[in-house]
Amino acid sequence: MSILDEYKDSTRLHLLAKDVHNLPEGLRIVVNFDKHHAAVGEAAGLLAGVCGQLATDCVAFPISFDKWSDIPASFFENQLNIFFLARFCFKVSDNLAKRFLLQSLGKKWREHRIKLWNDFYDPRLSKTEIINNAPEDIAPDQWALFVEYRLKPETQTKETGKEVNRVQMWDITHKKIDESYVNEKAKEIAEKIEVHSSQQPMELTVNSPLDALGVVFGKEHPGRVRGLGMGAVPIIAFKNNTTRISQMNLGSSNDAGTSSTCGPNVQEELDTVKAQLQALVSYIASKEGGKIPIQLAGMFPTQQISQVQIQLSSFFSFALSPSVFFLGS
C-alpha cells in the first residue's frame, strides 16, 4: 500500500493492522475515499482493522458508557490527534474523515459490547456473580457498570417504547441480534418459561412471584428481582401487582362461597378453597418454617404478617368446620 514520508515522497509497504502502532515516525498510510466518502483501496481494510483494535480497547473507548454517543468527545479527539492523524493521510476533508472514523469506531464498539455480553452472560448466575466474572482485559469497574446497564429495565424495553414485563425482559436480554438465544441453557429455560406462560391466566402476566419466571426460577433473593435490574426488591416490586392478584382471587373465592351456600356444589367448591389454602400453607412450611415469605407479604397490604397468619389459621379452621357443611345443606 502507498506510504508517504515526512517529505511527502511516496513508497509502498506491506503492513498489517498490528504494524500500524509501530510505524516509524514521519510515515503515514494513504487512505483513498470514493464519491460516497467511504474508504477504498488497500488501506481501507487496514484502517478497518485498526479501528477494530481501538474500539475494543477499554482504555481508549470504555465500555462503561451506556451508549456510544455518551462517550465524551475528548476520547475520540485524543485518538484522532495522537494516533490517526499521525499514521494516516486521509484523501478527504477533515470533517468527512472524522465522520467516517466515528461511524467505524462506533459500529465496532457496539459490536464488541454485544459479543462481550453473549460470551460472558450466564442466566444461571446472579448479577453479582456476573460482575465478579469480568473478562481479563476489561477493567472491573467498567465491567460492573456495563453489567448494571445491561440489566436495567430501560435497556430491556422493546423498540416500541412500551414497558414489558419481566418475563419478556428476560427473553429479550437472552437473545442475540439474530433472535437466537445466547446459549443452549438459555434456550432450555426460555422453553420452560413459555410453557408456564401459556398456561397462566392473564392476571399472572404482570410482575409477581407467581409469574412464569417465578415458577421456573423459584424463590427470589430478598435483595433483588430477576428481570428488573438494579435496586428492585421483591417486597416493593411485587407489592401492587400481588395485591391486585390477591384481591381478584379473594373476590372469586367470596363469590364462590356465597353461591355454595345456596346450591348443590358446596362440597366441590369448598374442596377447591381448602386445596388452595393447603398449597399456601405447604409452601410456607417448606420454604419459611411457617412464616409468610417477604415477597408474598404484599398480597396482604392491610394486615401485618402476624395477623395474616392468624387469619389464615382461622379461615382454614372455618373451612373445615362442620357448620359450613350444615349451612350449605
Q: How far apart are CA 37 and CA 44, in angstroms?
A: 12
Task: Tell whether 155 is covered by a domain.
Answer: yes
Alpha helices in the chain (DSSP H): 17-20, 42-55, 73-79, 85-87, 94-120, 127-132, 140-150, 166-172, 184-199, 212-217, 234-237, 239-260, 266-288, 305-320, 322-328
> Each residue of 196-211: b (16+ CB within 10 Å) or e?
bbeeeeeebebbbbbb
Residue 87 sits in the same domain as residue 109: yes
Residue 301: phi and psi, rounded to 5, are -65, -20
Same domain, 7 and 99: yes
Say if residue 327's pLDDT is above 60: no
Give the pLDDT confidence score for residue 69 in this predicted structure: 92
Task: Report which of 231, 255, 249, 226 is spatially closest to residue 300, judged by C-alpha positions.
Answer: 249
8 and 86 in a common domain: yes
- Same domain flag for 187 and 249: no
Q: Does 194 score more than 50 pLDDT? A: yes
Residue 144 placed within a domain: no
Is residue 133 assigned to a domain? Answer: no
What pLDDT shows up at residue 105?
Answer: 93
Give the model's pLDDT for residue 218: 79
Neighbouring residues of 114: CB distance < 8 A, sequence distance ≥ 6: 176, 177
189, pLDDT greater than 80: yes
- Tell me, yes or no, whether 280 and 314 share the same domain: yes
For every residue of 181-247, DSSP letters joined together read: BSSHHHHHHHHHHHHHHHHS-GGGGSSSTTSHHHHHH-SPPTT--TTS-TT--HHHHTHHHHHHHHH
Residue 258, pLDDT score: 41
Number of separate domains in the chain: 3
The widest CA-to-CA distance across the chain, in whole angstroms, is: 109
Highest mean pLDDT among 193-202, 274-283, 285-294, 295-304: 193-202
Residues 29, 46 within the same domain:
yes
Do 190 and 85 fall into the same domain? Answer: no
Same domain, 167 and 105: no
Domain that holds residue 179: 151-231
**Backbone φ, ψ for residue 39 (5° rounding):** -65, 140
Domain check: are 107 and 176 in the same one?
Answer: no
Output the pTM of the full model. Answer: 0.48
In-domain check, residue 142? no
What are the pLDDT digits (tens) for 14-72?
777 777 877 788 788 889 898 888 888 888 888 888 899 999 999 999 999 999 999 99
Decide if 196 is inside a domain: yes
C-beta pairs of 305-314 under 8 Å, 24+ apart in sequence: 312/277, 312/280, 312/281
271 domain-assigned = yes
Do 165 and 208 share a structural domain?
Answer: yes
Average pLDDT, the chain: 72
Chain centre to alpha carbon of residue 146: 11
Q: Which has more confidence, 147 or 213?
A: 147
Same domain for 158 and 224?
yes
In this structure, are 280 and 311 located in the same domain?
yes
d(CA 95, CA 108): 20
Stretch 117-131: mean pLDDT, rounded? 87
Check residue 264 and give its pLDDT: 43
Final residue belonging to a domain, choices 101, 120, 139: 120
Neighbours of 180 (CB within 10 A): 10
Residue 128 lies in a domain: no
Q: Please check the confidence at residue 145 and state whether its pLDDT lies above 70.
A: yes
Question: Residue 135 domain-assigned?
Answer: no
